[in-house]
Amino acid sequence: KTHREDRALIRHLMRLGHTSPFEMLELKLHIKATIFEARQIVRHRTASWNEVSARYSEMPAEFWIPDEGDIRAQGSSANKQEGVGGLSEEAADRAHWLFERSAKESYALYQELLASGVAREQARAVLPVGLYTEWYWKIDANNLMKFLALRLDGHAQKETRDLADAIYAIALDLWPVVMGEFKSCVLDGAKLTGSQLDVIRSFIRQDWPESTPTADILELRHQQGVQV
């Protein structure tokens, strides 16, 4: 088989959703990230996971403290889980100080509990989700692409998206053809409903129907960046 034929086959498999061949590729990573990032990633239950245990190991004083410019305001009531924009300089400085204070005080309490003889498995309860944890993560290419499709999306939390960017870069270096077709077909591609396809067909035929639902046009604008 030539390289061109291999690429054509990979593209064909990717486009038609014949994903089992991609499960033959496996990636194993040693990841260090915050507990809150780890809890988002573990939701992708198709990977093997082996994490450091705070029952057996004393956790080091390593916490995620965002820079003032990275602290985001809460999104609107329409999107309750997304942080948007920035805070005022005064509010960001105060928030940064609170992050630092929480990390230092919680770890001091953790150390005090350990020194008093409390078991590690219970003392860890005072530690915040901004603490760093580590784990080994083994995943096949098919499920990795499902993970990346969600966590590289602009709606994903920025910190988790940054981690997904790093994982994507590693996978792209290892599997340039597969990940290149993944980018073309999935990341840069589009999934449309039947009514949205009707809108596109109308553009091609240049017979824009007056009955085209406004919701379909707005959905195309929002999701696919189509200028209508």
* CA 220/CA 213 separation, integer angstroms: 11
Q: Angle at Cα 131 formed by Cα 127 and Cα 133, nearest 5°?
A: 115
* CA 143/CA 139 separation, integer angstroms: 7
* CA 175/CA 181 separation, integer angstroms: 10
* CA 104/CA 157 separation, integer angstroms: 25
* CA 173/CA 169 separation, integer angstroms: 6
Buried b (16+ CB within 10 A) or exposed e, 164-194: beebbeebeeebeebbebbbebbeeeeebee
Q: Is 50 helix (H, G, I), strand (E, B) or coil?
A: strand
The active-site residue out of 151, 161, 205, 221 is: 151
120 is catalytic: no
Contact 89, 140 (CB under 8 A): no
Catalytic positions, written as ranges: 151
